[in-house]
Structure 1
């Protein structure tokens, strides 16, 4: 069962596992992670999510992840982190190396939802593309339009988005309402629009492998 929508400023905890493996994740991934756990009846995972608003403050992610690790290390046999580098410039990886934790491969969720290999193959084509996932389409107004202050200062729009040409909606689910929201977001930003269905991409593969290795 999907969790209720997680607001961008909220933490989220899902405690149904056997207390063996903890997944520390971005709140923007909560629905997808729980959907995969429920669909596959994976029994080893507990999940704790940091607020999705950190998407706009990547410099805060490494310290926030470290705090989650310290708060939970004694309670779990293994801890995995479901963040890409996410704009931390390698600082998240440095923290994880110090703490002995491992994360999913990829620079960000756009890449591992697309499949890291496939995303890299389209890097040149997508150099001027701005990406939305299901979560970001659902919370575009709060996280991006208001989060970046464009609602209050429309003069910021060309500063933030003047070098983009296209909004690419990477869809995890086949949801017409979300596609409409993503297309409306493209219009607000003055960008061309493209929808690509990705499903859960490498996120599902990583969790499947982690579940198998943790047995």
Structure 2
């Protein structure tokens, strides 16, 4: 249990509660601005919820119900992420903020770029750095394709293209993503987009600008 002094110390920080699939990108942004560590408490929820969006809003609600009172500011490092507005209802309840957009692909690429990509090929499947690095665990085992390969047609029947929205330049990850596209029978496109609007969870913190 926190003492009064510890509670007062926490209240001076901003809670950033995010998806575990974003943890490396969030940590990198904090590392670029070391003074963030004195002003932000970063907590991440299970990355596996990327495939189970119905768990996101209840999970955020559970965490905030126990911890939101410790902070003056709460930022949620999720977009809507398939919750159908349920996450926004939780966010409004706790007067928090979240990243704008429907999902991480949109806020990484930027709305205009993502809209153009979607218009070019409706049947597009997207990967990020995290999903490339954890492809077998999240996409193959997570979707049950290792045990039931026949599910591939159920999940990907209407997909024709794989776009890797890269946060960092990494030749091996690019090769891996291209291989996954080939294995799935998809066209492949690589786009280096960086972290996009992910850094909005650190907005209005009175310290030096984020490094580029």
Q: Give the TM-score of the pair, scaled to structure 2.
A: 0.87
CA deviation vs aligned residue, 1:169-210 (integer Å, no higher than 9, x gap): 000000011112211211222211111000111112x14424
Equivalent position of 1:209 in the other structure: 203
Gaps of 5+ in 1: 1-16
- Is 1:104 the counterpart of 2:106? The answer is no
**Inter-CA distance 118–103: structure 2 relative to 1 (3 Å threshold):** same
Deviation at 1:35, TM superposition (A): 0.4
Instruction: State whether residues 98 and 201 of structure 2, in contact with CA within 8 Å, keep that contact through their aligned partners in structure 1.
Output: no
Equivalent position of 1:12 in the other structure: none
Local SS of the residue matching 2:120: coil
Among candidates 175, 192, 207, match of residue 187 of structure 2: 192
Aligned-residue Cα RMSD (Å) equals 1.7
Equivalent position of 1:13 in the other structure: none
Gaps of 5+ in 2: 1-9, 208-212
Among candidates 79, 94, 98, match of residue 84 of structure 1: 79
Over alpha carbons, which structure has the higher Rg?
Answer: 2
CA deviation vs aligned residue, 1:108-166 (integer Å, no higher than 9, x gap): 11011111233234331242110000000000100111111111111111111110010
CA deviation vs aligned residue, 1:4-37 (integer Å, no higher than 9, x gap): xxxxxxxxxxxxx885101000000000001001
Q: Give the TM-score of the pair, scaled to structure 1.
A: 0.86
Equivalent position of 2:31 in the other structure: 38
- Is 1:142 the counterpart of 2:137? The answer is yes
- Is 1:161 the counterpart of 2:149? The answer is no
The aligned length equals 196
Equivalent position of 1:58 in the other structure: 53
**In 1, distance between residues paired with 2:204 and 2:101?**
16
Deviation at 1:81, TM superposition (A): 0.1
**Inter-CA distance 195–18: structure 2 relative to 1 (3 Å threshold):** farther
**In 2, distance between residues paired with 1:126 and 1:117?**
15
Equivalent position of 1:20 in the other structure: 13
